[in-house]
Amino acid sequence: MLTKRIIPCLDIKNGRTVKGVNFVSLRDAGDPVELAEFYSKEGADELVFLDITATEEKRKTLLDLVLKVAQKINIPFTVGGGISKVEDVEMLLRAGADKVSINSSAVKNPDLINDLAAKFGSQCIVVAIDAKKVKDQWKVHLVGGKVPTEIDLFEWAKEVEQRGAGEILFTSMNNDGTKEGFANKALKKLSRELTIPIIASGGAGNMQHFIDTFKIGESDAALAASVFHFKEIKIKDLKQELKKNNIPVRI
């Protein structure tokens, strides 16, 4: 059985790490370079860096900040925000990213997934999907959750896999920042319908939530932000708890 991964997420706005609830009400969570270095030493399996306003502001990801973070860590590093073409990915990989995450740009131009997977390999391409449950249907949202679509989460996830993505990062907008647990029912469906790894995001509030998403949601990795940023959960302690619950993790 593959080990399950714990992934802190740095949501970046104006060069600072921020965290909100249901994608709004953002508050400052610290310096991204310092946090990244801390998580690398603390035992995180990977790190995700999302420039959350790059798409909305129609600009590229903060390359200099990516470079600074990459120099401080020795774990796989995924970067997202404002990526819309092959050249964007080339620059980020040169700056030290190991993988890239695309979201709105993939929905607007699905061929981008094929192009990036062909050039850089599927293992390098993460497609992030922000979705909200509306009247029993999960609908994909774009531009940091601000633009609703009629696209079904599960249909889009299947297309993403067919086009060559190596992983899916699914964030439940309903659960985001609530600390009430991950959207395990949807995660389980994704995990069973797809063959690529599914990263759970949105809703982590305590250690049991991580146990649940691995056991009930059948997630391959769990991503969280505020519980790590504000020291509510220590990654080392979390991994010991997961191990006690027979969940394979890298200690």
Q: Which residues are catalytic?
A: 11, 130
How far is the C-alpha of 251 from the C-alpha of 248, rounded, in Å?
9
136's tokens: 């029993």
Pairing of the two strands 5-13 and 221-224: parallel
Instruction: Label the pairing between strands 99-102 and 125-134.
Output: parallel
> Cα 61 vs. chain centroid, distance in angstroms?
16
Q: How many residues does the chain have?
A: 251
Q: Could you give the CA distance from residue 249 to residue 240 in angstroms, rounded to a whole number? A: 9
Report the distance separating Cα 116 and Cα 28, nearest Å.
33
